[in-house]
Structure 1
């Protein structure tokens, strides 16, 4: 990173300075937050195999998200997304932002992101997706103010693309294999197969998928907490071993860290923790329990880009590599994922930074750049995205 880039990063971290538009000098930052708006909406998921999305968590339908808009006194706007498939819903979390966070934010310097996180944590325990929506909007706003992408605020890009993984939901084994083959034709080098179906469906699907994608494609499995006991998880995973599985994601309930550690100790297959990993403190518990070989990081579950970067650093210090997971986010949240992934050295696995591709349409005016199974950084300052107001209006649930 050159001296100008280092100066930008130091000014961002300190929250004390910003670049004057069109000039190469730094001046004291006087920008303040003027308004906070939160809009609940329901993005339409694609149908997979002619039915609603189904996985170990259950059936996903009627997703409830929200858009966070933070405006400055200088006329700039930052956007963030509250996205979650877990309770509380986006509508409820939108009310959390309105009631607790918005009054605190008004008049604050949006670049004081660490301080704002401390204040949000003091006001509300948990509610990570709500905090993430605020955090994304702050990063977008500060990036626009400085004229730099959010990835620069996070330390600068360490790669030019992110290798993607795409999830194959529950379905008939033949249909799942057809989708896997189609993804490989589109350039995806990794497919993630949702497992936890009844009877022999998982094994049959994996066999057909491996035949369809060939030996060079990476295949991983994700149970989404579907199995009840460590011994059940071991029995199921052992049956999948002949299909050259890269790793197994979240075989047990989020709080069964002892069970996760038991599974990890009794099978020669990397275990990735996902639903167990939210804010940094929960990830620390996973690491102390030796419950994972890999940690899946989310912007939403971590509580925002600021906290997600802390999770990456914590895992790196522990010697544990990371991947990135998806709620799935729509366009704004996916853009935040890509910026984060570009800047994190400890991202070592193909990642689910393509959440917006699980929807019928996108909230953005321009589709995020994905080519040959790789995600690229959006162009422009901040998150590099613009909201399609017509789509947002059609998705709103508060009117």
Structure 2
């Protein structure tokens, strides 16, 4: 079987408005997702589909051009079963654009599953769990609004909520306090700074103010390459520290482990450049004793399905994951929606991504 064509289509979707206005985090406001779909055809008549997702400045249109103009011409003629060779070829011809590579590689996994008539999670070792428990993110707002939003998600079955911080120290602490009081001790409250704080000293001071409200973890308090400062924060707080943007590749995970910069790693199919690299990160972290969760851009249904397949098969999946990106959109691209029930995600059972 050989790859005969690869094309992309830029897609848009309006995000749900959390507090009656455009949702925002420390990364900025986000009203519309601009992603891209990757369509891959083979001489066996099997078509695979993948998704390119991004919340960063380089989004759907630009990333689709990376595929159409650079990756696609180089991959024609490859056997989809040679997925390691395909990833090596993409790394060789396009340095660091992992988000685009992930969409291409996702389509390859879809083809493999369809060719073998099995869901992707079976290609990754099979089910470790029947479902993935989920976390739901609370965007910026007045602390009272954020607490009300958390209660709604808790009533829907989410046992974990993620408080987005980075507005101001006082408002952030107030939000964590009110969310904790609103959902009670039976639910987990985690905090995500999205790189908002500038120094270890600032982060430590704010986190210590939050500790009395028992946050489950603190996510990415500083910019990604500040590993020594992240390690300093980790040594000086009483809450587990999770990195996200600091790990885009297995080599990043190795450096985080070496510098003891985190207790937990948030792994993305997109940021990793695809499922194969994400599995490598899970394996490295497992050997180092660091649990992982799976993060979201948030994706539409295609990308979300890939995440769920990954999480279904990974033994080292620890904290509740963000594999519900399609729920943040007013409408999804899938005709048959993914299965979400009582705060859990279930892998599709159809061939490929399902």
**TM-score of Structure 1 vs Structure 2, range by shorter chain:** over 0.9
CA positional deviation for 1:112: 0.7
Aligned to 2:205: 235
Deviations 1:283-341 (A, max 9, x none): 22211111100000000000000110011011111111101111111111100000000
Corresponding residue number in structure 2 for 1:259: 229
Deviating more after overlay: 316-325 vs 85-94: 85-94
Shift of the alpha carbon at 1:64? 2.1
C-alpha separation in 1, matches of 2:184 and 2:289: 31
* 2:26 match: 56
Query: How far apart in 1 are the matches of 2:304 and 2:334?
Result: 11
Equivalent residue for 2:185, pick from 198, 206, 215:
215
Partner of 1:129: 99
Q: Offset at 1:199?
A: 4.5
1:196 aligns with 2:140: no
1:70 maps onto 2:43 in alignment: no
Name the residue aligned to 1:325. 295
SS in 2 for 1:155: coil
Give the alignment partner of residue 344 of structure 2, picking from 362, 374, 378.
374
Q: Are 1:248 and 2:257 matched, yes or no?
A: no
Kindly indicate whether residue 12 of structure 2 is the aligned counterpart of residue 42 of structure 1: yes
Q: Describe the SS at the equivalent of 1:200.
A: helix
Give the gaps of 5 or more residues in structure 2. none
The structure with the largest alpha-carbon Rg is 1
For residue 290 of structure 1, what is the aligned residue in structure 2? 260
Bigger drift between 40-49 and 155-164 goes to 40-49
Q: Give the Cα separation in 2 of the matches to 1:62 and 1:359.
A: 9
Q: Which residue of 2 aligns with 1:12?
A: none
Q: Distance in 2 between matches of 1:311 and 1:230?
A: 26
Q: 2:311 maps to which residue?
A: 341
For 1:188 and 1:243, how far apart are their aligned partners in 2? Answer: 19
TM-score, normalised relative to structure 1? 0.87
Residue 116 (str. 1) matches residue 111 (str. 2): no
Per the alignment, residue 316 of structure 1 pairs with 286
What is the correspondence of 1:116-195 to structure 2 with a 5 Å cutoff?
Answer: 116-195=86-165
The range that moved more, 149-158 or 197-206, is 197-206
Of 33, 41, 47, the match for 2:3 = 33
Deviation per CA, 1:229-281, whole angstroms, max 9, x where unpaired?
Answer: 00000111011111111100000011111110000011111000001110111
The answer as to whether partners of 2:18 and 2:149 remain within 8 angstroms in 1 is: no
Query: Cα RMSD between the aligned structures?
Result: 1.0
| TM-score, normalisation: structure 2 | 0.98
